[in-house]
Chain A
Amino acid sequence: MMQIIYFGRLREQLQSSGEKLEYSAKSGSVRGLLEQLCQRGEPWASALDGRATVLVAVNQEMAGAETALADGDEVAFFPPVTGG
Chain B
Amino acid sequence: MKAITVQSEPLDIAAEQNAVRGSDAGIGALVSFVGLMRDINDGAKVYRMTLEHYAGMTEKALAVIVDEACERWPLAAVRIVHRVGEMQPTDPIVLVIVASAHRSAAFAACEFIMDYLKNRAPFWKKEYTAEGERWVEQRASDRDAEGRWINR
B117 neighbours in A (Cβ, 8 Å): 83-84
**CB of B124 closer than 8 Å to a CB of A:** yes
| B48 on the A face (CB < 8 A) | no
**A78 partner, pick from B54, B93, B118, beta carbons under 8 A:** B54
Tally inter-chain residue pairs, CB-CB below 8 A: 69
Q: Is the interface of B mostly helix, strand, loop or mixed?
A: mixed
Find residues 60-84 in chain A having any chain B CB closer than 8 Å to their own CB: 60-62, 76, 78-84
Q: Are B121 and A84 in contact (CB under 8 A)?
A: yes
A residues apposed to B, CB below 8 Å? 5, 7-9, 57, 60-62, 76, 78-84
CB pairs A–B below 8 angstroms (15 shown):
A7-B124, A57-B122, A60-B57, A62-B61, A62-B120, A76-B57, A78-B54, A78-B124, A79-B138, A82-B123, A82-B124, A82-B125, A83-B94, A83-B125, A84-B114
Q: Which residues of B contact A (CB under 8 A)?
A: 35, 51-54, 56-57, 60-61, 82, 93-94, 114, 117-126, 135-138
